[in-house]
Amino acid sequence: MSVLNIGVVGYAGDKFDVTEARRLLDLALTRVVDEHRGVAEFRIISGLGDIGIHPIAYQAARTRGWSTRAIDCQKALKYTLCAVDSIRLIGVNRGDESTAFLQECDVIVRIGGGDQAINEAERFRGDTYQYDLPVIEE
């Protein structure tokens, strides 16, 4: 395998501890690299919206010199977008992209998240690294 596609899922709209999310993501990505030593290149795949875990994941990729790819639905185009190397749009509504997203990923990292993130991590049939992260209640 020349490129390992790491899907990152988690919170999109909820408030969470960003510092803790970064720490957990770094922990997860370190584990992924350690457990896939023969891989020459890594790519982060996440959602397109500049909210929640997505920009954190893409920043982690840039810090490591990895490429980035967003897979999302058309509805994402209505919002502020993350800067990524490539984009794939599937369907119109949230969730329409889930199957295609899972098919492109070699491993999944879940940092917190709501129903869609949890569902994607449970449906995935490969290595999954899951970390709970509570929502901050106001």
Task: Say if residue 40 is exposed, middle or buried (CB neighbours under 10 Å; 0-12, 13-18, 19+).
Answer: exposed
Question: Does a structural domain hold residue 3?
Answer: no
Question: Does a structural domain hold residue 97?
Answer: yes
pLDDT category, 8, cuts 50, 70, 90?
Answer: very high
Question: Does a structural domain hold residue 137?
Answer: no
Phi and psi for 22 in degrees, rounded to 5?
-60, -40
What's the pLDDT score for residue 138? 67
Name the residue among 104, 122, 130, 116 with its Cα closest to residue 7. Answer: 104
Question: Does a structural domain hold residue 57?
Answer: yes
Task: Say if residue 120 is exposed, middle or buried (CB neighbours under 10 Å; 0-12, 13-18, 19+).
Answer: buried
Question: Does a structural domain hold residue 23?
Answer: yes
Name the residue among 5, 23, 44 with its Cα closest to residue 112. Answer: 23
Comparing 97 with 1, the larger pLDDT belongs to 97
Name the residue among 10, 25, 4 with its Cα closest to residue 107. Answer: 4
What's the pLDDT score for residue 14? 72
Task: Decide if pLDDT at 28 tops 90.
Answer: yes
Question: Does a structural domain hold residue 128?
Answer: no
pLDDT digits (tens, 9 = 90+) for 64-80: 999 999 999 999 999 99
What's the pLDDT score for residue 137? 77
pLDDT digits (tens, 9 = 90+) for 79-138: 999 999 999 999 999 899 999 999 999 999 999 998 999 999 999 999 999 999 988 876
Range of the domain at 31: 9-43+51-104+115-123
Give counts: helices (H), strands (E), the chain. 4, 6
- Please state at what angle helix 18-35 crosses helix 53-64, rounded to 10 degrees: 50
pLDDT category, 1, cuts 50, 70, 90?
Answer: low
Question: Does a structural domain hold residue 98?
Answer: yes
CA Rg value for the chain: 14
How many domains does the chain divide into? Answer: 1
Question: Does a structural domain hold residue 100?
Answer: yes
